[in-house]
Every structure is written in structure tokens, then in C-alpha cells.
Amino acid sequence: MNLDFKIKNLLLICLIFLGVFNQYYSQVQHQDDFKTGADQPALYLPLLKGKTVGIVTNQTGLMSDRTYVVDFLVKNGIKIKSIFAPEHGFRGDADAGEKVKNGVDVKTGIPIVSLYGNNKKPSAEQLKGIDVIVFDIQDVGVRFYTYISTLTYVMEAGAENNVEVIVLDRPNPHDGYTDGPVLRKKWTSFVGMHEVPVVYGLTIGEYGQMVNGEGWLKNKVKAKYTLIPMKNYHKTRRYPMPDRPSPNLPDDHSINLYPSLCFFEGTQVSVGRGTDLPFQIYGSPWTKSLPYQFTPKPTAGAKDPFLNGKLCYGENLSAYKKDLRELNPEWLMKAYKHYKNPELDFFLKPAAGKNYWFDMLAGSDDLRKQIVAGKSISEIRASWKPELDAFEKIRKKYIVYEK
């Protein structure tokens, strides 16, 4: 009887182990079967054979074996006429707002054309002789991150010059939810071209389909647009980045905090550019009642950081553990309450006839006025809901992937 009991227990343990192992193996298999658009060349190489190609990419245009898409295309006999580089440049090492120069890629000899500064949109001359533009950039899914604006201009130029646009899709680290104020047309700029919320919950490929489908390109032109979708991608999962998408978003934590902290760029408060923790800390010389201290200094990714050399007082959010799948205005409001400087307004003053930079990031002047008026977080978030609900009706038309 005792032996039978032991045998039954042993069998039960074996069954449980096999069940757990099979479940784990199934999950690993499923995750291993995930592929970006770039990692499915069978879907796009036939579309490029015999064509003259331009490619919009940067340091994130990597395949799973760490091969750059540019190098892969050249190796497979695809004729690339030009590499178009977005903000931060082809190698992704330029500061935010820094002028990116044209040049030549040393490895391939292909000319590099900057799509930043005064040349945000490819000209007819730059597209001359090009049949197809391939777009392959890791985005972060936030309205004021400028890669979606670059995609918009590329699509617009493609439509105007009869050049097809093929987007190799990549994960969005802020996918599966929407949040923040929705932009209004008066505040349209390169950090916000469309009437979408700060967090819009679409991959860059889905976003391009929305721009095309909703007629948001200039003069309502329509691009010939092809999406190379990902395989086994889920919108509520999070996937590792192939490389830092820009110099001051070095890791997942900075990317998670970015939608909440980027508003500080329109204020007298630093977000940690010029430190080891960009977009994980915030502070100012005029918020001395806050506990954390840091001093911005020149770095490779911030050659002349805001408040360079000045001791700042603020908060360190690098250990913040709460769910970051929402935009949190708490830190912005806290900094405003602690800010003490009678000579400089908390919000950076605009040039004559211009909008506040803070308002450009927020998409209207509502958030700034709400903070000044002392509105609560719940009141501010409630004010976003009607426009978020209206946007959701548009968004859901362009969702390609499961949750």
C-alpha cells in the first residue's frame, strides 16, 4: 500500500513536471517565432528585385542576427541609391535638435541624405530615379518622438513623386493603450503632425496606414503603401529593442518614462540629459525642496545639455516600479509646485509670435493652463477622455495585431 502510494506520487510529480515543461517550452517556442518585418525577407525582397531603392533607417535597422538591413539588401543584390537619415542621424549619435549632415556610408559607399533640419521631406530631386522607399526604424510609440513625422513626410513625398513606400514593421514599446492629451491643429509641428494622443497605441506600420487611410497627408494625397507585418507580435507584450532608438533613451526604463517626462523639455526643468540617467530623473536649480541632486555635464549624447554645469534638485525615478502603461502627470505637477524662481517662469517663454514649446509637446495650451490653475491629476485625466474616446474609433480601424 505504501509502495503504491509512493509510485502514484512519483507519477503525479512527473506529470506536473512534464506539464510545466511543455507549457514553458510552448511559450519559448512562441516567443522564438516572433519576427520583425525586417526578419522576413521573403515578404519584401521580391518587391525590391530589379528596383532602385531608397531606405530610411538608422542604427535600429537591425535583423535578429545583428546584420543591418542596408547591408543585407546590398548583399542580396538590391540596388540602393540613397540612405535617408532621420533625427539623430544614420548612426543615431546626434543630439536631439542637432543638425545632421549629408555624407556617405563608409561601408557601402551609399550616399546619406539627412531628413532633419531644413530638409525634413525628401525633395523631387532626391527621389529622382528611385522606385521604392523602404522605411525601417525602431519607434517608441509617442507622438512627439519624430520618427512618425519623418514617415509622414516620406509618404507624402512618395505620393507626390510616384514612389512606393514599404514599411518593415517593428514593436511599439508603448503599444496596446492610448493616453494623454490629443493634439489640436493649431499646435501642429514636427513634434506633432496629427490629431492623436501622446500615446497612440499603434506600431509605426499601423500608424502609417492610419495616416494614409484618414487622408492626413498634404492635399489628401495617398501613398502607395505596403506594410510588411511582424510575425507573432502581440500589442500588450513588450519586446527588447535592437539598439537604443536615440542617444537619450538608452534603455527600457527611460523609454517607459518618456511619455511622462518629455513635457519637462518645455520647462526650466532638466530631464537628465548630460547624466547617466536621461529620462529617469528630473530636477532644476529652483526646486531645492526636492531630495535628489545631479549636475548635467556634456556627454556623447548631450554635448551641451540643458542646465549644463548647474546643480539640480529633483527626483530619481530609476527605481520606479509601478505599471508605466499610462502617462503620469504627477512629476510635472510636483515640480511646478516646488519651483521657486521669481525671475524665470516655470514654462519656457516662447519667441515673439510663437507657441509655448510646452504647448507644442502637449498638443494644446490646456495642460499648461490646468497646471497653473492647480487642477488635480484626476481632473486633468478626465479632461482627456472625450478626445481619447473619439480617437479610439479611428485607431481601431487600423489595428493589425492581436492584443
322-366 pLDDT, tens digit per residue, is 667 889 999 999 999 999 999 999 999 998 889 999 999 999 999
The three-point CA angle 106-112-117 to 5° equals 135
Q: Is residue 56 part of a domain?
A: yes
Exposure b/e, 120-145, CB count within 10 A at least 16 = b: bbbeeebbeebbbbbbbbbbbbbbbb
Q: What is the CATH number of the domain that holds 261?
A: 3.90.1150
pTM of the complete model beyond 0.85: yes
Residues 113 and 204 in one domain: yes
Q: What's the rounded Cα separation, in Å, for the pair 359 and 367?
A: 8
Residues 207 and 82 in one domain: yes
Q: What is the CATH number of the domain that holds 163?
A: 3.40.50.12170
Q: Flag whether pLDDT at 191 surpasses 90.
A: yes
Q: What's the rounded Cα separation, in Å, for the pair 307 and 324?
A: 27
Q: Is residue 23 part of a domain?
A: no
Query: What is the domain range of residue 139?
Result: 41-228
pLDDT in the model for residue 9: 46
Q: Is residue 118 part of a domain?
A: yes
* Residue that finishes a domain, picked among 178, 213, 228: 228
Residues 222 and 259 in one domain: no
Exposure b/e, 94-104, CB count within 10 A at least 16 = b: bbeebebeeee
Residues 73 and 105 in one domain: yes
Residues 143 and 280 in one domain: no
Alpha helices in 68-203 (DSSP H): 69-75, 124-127, 147-160
Q: Which residues touch 166 (CB under 8 Å, ≥6 apart)? A: 44, 47, 48, 132, 133, 134, 135, 226, 227, 228
Q: Are strands 103-104 and 111-114 parallel, antiparallel or unpaired?
A: antiparallel
Number of domains in the chain: 2
Q: Is residue 239 part of a domain?
A: no
Residues 146 and 289 in one domain: no
Residues 195 and 320 in one domain: no
Confidence band of 2 (pLDDT split at 50, 70, 90): very low
Residues 167 and 81 in one domain: yes
Please name every residue paired with 312 in a beta bridge, in sequence order, or none if there are none. Answer: 294
Residues 219 and 87 in one domain: yes
pLDDT tens digits for 261-283? 999 999 999 999 999 999 999 99
Q: Is residue 209 part of a domain?
A: yes
Residues 316 and 198 in one domain: no
Helix, strand or coil, per DSSP, at residue 237? coil
All cell numbers assigned to 395: 485607431
Question: To 10 degrees, what angle do helices 330-338 and 252-261 make?
Answer: 60
Q: Is residue 109 part of a domain?
A: yes
Helix, strand or coil, per DSSP, at residue 40? coil
pLDDT tens digits for 37-93? 999 999 999 999 999 999 999 999 999 999 999 999 999 999 999 999 987 557 544
- The count of residues in the chain is 403
Q: Is residue 352 part of a domain?
A: yes
Q: Flag whether pLDDT at 125 surpasses 80.
A: yes
Residues 117 and 212 in one domain: yes
Residues 267 and 206 in one domain: no
| Cα-Cα end-to-end distance for the chain | 51
